[in-house]
Structure 1
Amino acid sequence: MSESIFRVIYQGARIAYKALVKSIVEEIELSQQAAKIRYQHSPDQEFSKKDMTLAEAMQILNVEKVDPVLVEKRFKFLFEVNGKSNGGSFYLQSKVFRAKQRIDGEIKMLSPCCNDSK
């Protein structure tokens, strides 16, 4: 009698374990598929949604228009001021650097001399 109860409990636990593993595997696959769809880039899209916006980049560098000379001047000043040797932080330096990268990308896209239309 106790042996048959043990078998029933064992079989029930085994079935529950297999169902749990199967559902976890399916959930992982579905989340991976959703992530691929969410972060898929179209060929003409330079920046993803998780990247810094142009407005945010301009606010960080304190510029009102996309002017390469002004952007470079503000970048050099803010990058130097936020250096560790001046009591700044790596985080702030990286924000300034990413902002300049974002604006440089915009300048590159807007510049007619650098666009390949061949």
Structure 2
Amino acid sequence: MTDLNTLKYTEEHEWLSISDGVATIGITDYAADKLGDVVFVELPAVGTELTAGAIVGEIESTKSVGELYAPMVGTVTEINDAVVDDPSLVNAEPFEGGWLIKISIADGAADALLDRDAYVALTEG
């Protein structure tokens, strides 16, 4: 089980787990709950160069369509094919099997992101 206190978060309700210059990115349980049942996920191709803040994918649910934003500059190194094949993983396991992409990042790139307390304050405010 992922320790939610070790993750970084964005104001767009994405989480990041960072290890050895690679960020694994998904959407939070809060975002998954607000979206409702996820039925379609579109992700960028491996090798895609990401610009911070740019739209890089789409998450479609029974309620709405949401965008996936690049939280920082990086290059897509892996996508979660399991989520593309079974989008319900985003709802069922948002912090585990429901991750979306992995990107290579520069040291310190995540320093400006939110910690767990700041993210909780954002969702409660």
Q: Which has the higher strand share?
A: 2
- Relative to the length of structure 2, the TM-score reads 0.20
Q: Which has the higher helix share?
A: 1
Report which of the two structures shows the higher radius of gyration computed on alpha carbons: 1
Which structure exhibits the higher relative contact order, with contacts defined as CA atoms closer than 8 Å and separated by 6 or more residues? 2
